[in-house]
């Protein structure tokens, strides 16, 4: 089969219709234009232009050192770009103060250290902070939202456990639940499936797909798992050496030729007979430069 076939069985296939129903088809929630950012005098992201639409899940993929996490940090406002522009809801990101930005955007980093022995429920409740006034404590409504977020990620039984007592996968789900409790318009997730087993990977992407469809949330995730990107994403940004190497629907961005060039290895790109999504496998040893 060729790479332009419509993937009807893929989980994200109905999202365009969902955006139509919500009255905001293809509305851009977050946009970057010719974004360049880095550390010291080293550019880690070079002139990347993307948009994340309401009701959409965008996967950002590429090898280690491609600039995926740096791009997400710049999009979140945690890293000031060297050049280019970032817009949130058609307004420059720099114009938002921290509280206003936190009401609209949630981020989950790869590492989320917690210095004190907060319980899982207390960590998730922190997601409600941007919605509280000065000196105001959480209400019963806030507590209900936090408990519902815990339940969505199968964490209810762990609500009273200290975050330090949880496994890596359990902690990851707690911080994803915190992002959900924040009720953002945009969610930026850096390697959300790290440390998770297959069941919880499927549940997490299912939850964020549901939120994208029902709340018109825009979701951008960095991933190493190309098959997860093919299965769950509406669009994919393929990165290499800080630049975009492919951008579009999974079958457009992740061709065998592009993936082979980005990962320096021969790649098989076919179809998963159960889902219709792309199936991506390495089929050769890494390419070695000619001596």
- Domain extents in the chain: 1-89+185-202+210-291
pLDDT at 156: 96
Highest mean pLDDT among 134-148, 174-188, 206-220: 174-188
How far is residue 130's CA from residue 234's CA, in Å, rounded to a whole number? Answer: 29
Q: How confident is the model at residue 115 (pLDDT cuts 50, 70, 90)?
A: confident
Q: Judge whether residue 242 has pLDDT over 90.
A: yes
Q: Judge whether residue 20 has pLDDT over 70.
A: no
What's the mean pLDDT in 65-86?
96
3-state secondary structure of 139: coil
Phi, psi at 91, each rounded to 5°:
-125, 135
CB neighbours (10 Å) of residue 287? 12
Q: Which of 48, 33, 36, 38 is nearest to 85 (CA)?
A: 33
3-state secondary structure of 48: strand
Query: Could you give the angle at the alpha carbon of 127 between the alpha carbons of 23 and 132, nearest 5°?
Result: 90
Structure-model confidence comparison of residues 112 and 184, the more confident one: 184
Cβ–Cβ under 8 Å, residues 222 and 26: no
How far is residue 103's CA from residue 122's CA, in Å, rounded to a whole number? Answer: 18
Q: Which of 239, 236, 231, 224 is nearest to 209 (CA)?
A: 231
CB neighbours (10 Å) of residue 80? 11
What's the mean pLDDT in 180-195?
92
Helices (H) and strands (E) in the chain, counts: 10, 12
pLDDT at 132: 87
CATH of 1-89+185-202+210-291, one of 3.40.50.300, 1.10.260.40, 3.40.50.1000, 2.170.150.20: 3.40.50.300
pLDDT at 290: 57
Name the pTM for this structure: 0.86
pLDDT at 247: 97
Q: Judge whether residue 266 has pLDDT over 70.
A: yes
The share of the chain scoring above pLDDT 90, in percent, equals: 70
pLDDT at 108: 94
Phi, psi at 268, each rounded to 5°:
-95, 130
6-28: burial string, b at 16+ Cβ within 10 Å, e else? ebeebbbeebeebbeeeeeeebb
Q: E strands along the chain, which residues? A: 28-39, 42-53, 57-61, 83-88, 91-92, 105-108, 186-190, 218-223, 235-240, 243-248, 265-271, 278-286
Those residues with Cβ within 8 angstroms of residue 62's Cβ, 6 or more apart along the chain or in another chain: 68, 238, 239, 240, 245, 262
Q: Which of 30, 18, 20 is nearest to 213 (CA)?
A: 18
How far is residue 58's CA from residue 220's CA, in Å, rounded to a whole number? Answer: 5
Environment class of residue 223 by beta-carbon count within 10 Å: exposed (0-12), middle (13-18) or buried (19+)?
buried
Q: How many residues does the chain have?
A: 291
Quick one: tokens of 186? 């945009």
How far is residue 77's CA from residue 282's CA, in Å, rounded to a whole number? Answer: 35
């Amino acid at each position: 089969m060729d790479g332009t076939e419509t993937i009807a069985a893929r989980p994200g296939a109905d999202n365009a219709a969902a955006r139509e129903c919500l009255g905001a088809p293809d509305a851009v929630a977050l946009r970057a234009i010719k974004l360049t950012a880095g550390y010291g005098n080293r550019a880690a992201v070079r002139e990347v232009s993307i948009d994340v639409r309401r009701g959409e899940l965008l996967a950002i993929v590429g090898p280690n050192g491609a600039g995926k996490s740096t791009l997400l940090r710049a999009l979140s406002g945690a890293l000031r770009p060297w050049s280019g522009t970032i817009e949130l809801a058609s307004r420059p990101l720099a114009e938002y103060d921290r509280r206003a930005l936190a009401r609209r955007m949630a981020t989950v980093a790869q590492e989320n250290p917690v210095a004190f022995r907060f319980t899982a429920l207390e960590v998730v409740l922190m997601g409600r902070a941007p919605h509280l006034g000065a000196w105001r404590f959480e209400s019963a409504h806030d507590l209900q939202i936090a408990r519902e977020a815990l339940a969505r990620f199968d964490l209810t039984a762990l609500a009273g456990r200290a975050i330090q007592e949880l496994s890596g996968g359990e902690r990851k789900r707690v911080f994803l639940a915190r992002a959900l409790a924040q009720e953002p318009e945009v969610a930026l997730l850096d390697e959300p499936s790290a440390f998770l087993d297959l069941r919880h990977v499927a549940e997490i992407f299912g939850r964020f797909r549901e939120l994208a469809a029902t709340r018109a949330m825009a979701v951008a995730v960095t991933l190493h798992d190309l098959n997860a990107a093919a299965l769950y994403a509406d669009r994919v940004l393929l990165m290499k050496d800080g630049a975009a190497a492919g951008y579009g629907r999974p079958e457009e961005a992740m061709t065998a030729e592009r993936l082979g060039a980005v990962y320096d290895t021969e790649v098989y790109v076919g179809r998963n007979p159960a889902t219709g999504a792309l199936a991506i496998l390495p089929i050769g040893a890494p390419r070695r430069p000619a001596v």
